[in-house]
């Protein structure tokens, strides 16, 4: 089975800190995604990557950046964490074939104080 | 623009009741894919089903069934004889065929609570 692993389940950071959220997948998937989940808003796409060193902005990229130096790893970076970035962050991956399903990690609940 | 609407924020039923989760979508693409995912309390979204826009045949998988109607842009999900283990947040999602990288548009989610 495909496994998508997010480095932390819970994370507490202070306002202004630089935060790294790591995601690793083990199935050689081309595409990787970072979503943010908030009550009443569903999942909103922050960034995605369709290849190593390639990235595209999603719907809410402000305040975030990403890095994909290796195919299996996709990192989300909060340059200067703010309280409105308190949220559940979900990483996902899939193959490049049309219509393929996403595989998700368990999520990281980030609290910014 | 593409959009997915799940108007039901929360649904509460008693075990063994049937329940339908609604999903309405908007897209200008003629080719697209629709998905349902389940998010149990553990947090990891689990894939349930995928349909492409050319296949309007309804599908049944055990207690789960899906009703896809292009005429009303709906892709509703029914659980028959619900069980406590069905308690979760359910998401409907849409992907246009030409969405670069396979971007999925998610609905707001419906939280289903099945009480014993």
pLDDT score for A107: 94
- Contact call for A58 and B103, based on CB within 8 A: yes
Q: How far is the C-alpha of B23 from the C-alpha of B84, rounded, in Å?
A: 22
How many of the other CB atoms lie within 10 Å of CB of A38? 13
pLDDT score for A85: 97
Are the C-beta atoms of A33 and A43 separated by less than 8 Å?
no
DSSP A102: P
- Contact call for A106 and B33, based on CB within 8 A: no
For residues B50-72, give the mean pLDDT: 90
The reply to whether B101 touches chain A by the CB within 8 Å rule is: yes
Top pLDDT among B60 and B66 is at: B66
Q: What percentage of chain B carries pLDDT values higher than 70?
A: 97
| Option in A56, A88, A101 nearest B100 (CB) | A56
Q: What is the pLDDT of residues A57-111, one digit of tens each?
A: 998 999 999 999 999 999 999 999 999 999 999 999 988 776 688 899 999 999 9
Q: Does position A2 have pLDDT exceeding 70, yes or no?
A: no
> Which is it for strands B110-115 and B10-14: parallel, antiparallel or unpaired?
parallel
The reply to whether B44 touches chain A by the CB within 8 Å rule is: yes
pLDDT score for B101: 61
Q: Does position B99 have pLDDT exceeding 70, yes or no?
A: no
The reply to whether A105 touches chain B by the CB within 8 Å rule is: yes
Nearest to A5 by CA among A99, A74, A87, A96: A74
Residues of A in contact with B108 (CB under 8 A): 40-42
């Amino acid at each position: 089975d495909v496994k998508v692993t997010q480095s932390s389940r819970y994370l507490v950071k202070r306002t202004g800190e630089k935060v790294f959220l790591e995601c690793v997948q083990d199935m050689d998937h081309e595409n990787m995604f970072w979503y943010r989940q908030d009550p009443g808003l569903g999942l909103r796409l922050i960034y995605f990557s369709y290849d190593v060193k390639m990235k595209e902005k999603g719907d809410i990229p402000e305040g975030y950046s990403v890095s994909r130096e290796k195919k299996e790893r996709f990192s989300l970076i909060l340059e200067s964490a703010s309280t409105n970035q308190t949220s559940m962050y979900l990483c996902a991956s899939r193959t490049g074939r049309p219509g393929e399903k996403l595989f998700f990690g368990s999520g990281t609940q980030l609290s910014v104080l | 623009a593409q959009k997915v609407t799940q108007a039901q924020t929360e649904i509460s039923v008693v075990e063994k009741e049937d329940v339908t989760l609604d999903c309405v979508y908007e897209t200008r693409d003629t080719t697209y894919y629709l998905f349902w995912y389940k998010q149990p309390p553990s947090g990891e979204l689990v894939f349930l089903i995928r349909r492409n826009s050319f296949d309007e045949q309804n599908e049944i998988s055990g207690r789960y069934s899906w009703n896809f109607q292009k005429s009303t842009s709906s892709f509703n999900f029914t659980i028959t004889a619900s069980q406590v283990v069905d308690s979760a947040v359910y998401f409907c999602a849409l992907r246009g065929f030409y969405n670069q990288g396979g971007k999925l548009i998610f609905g707001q989610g419906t939280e289903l609570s099945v009480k014993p």
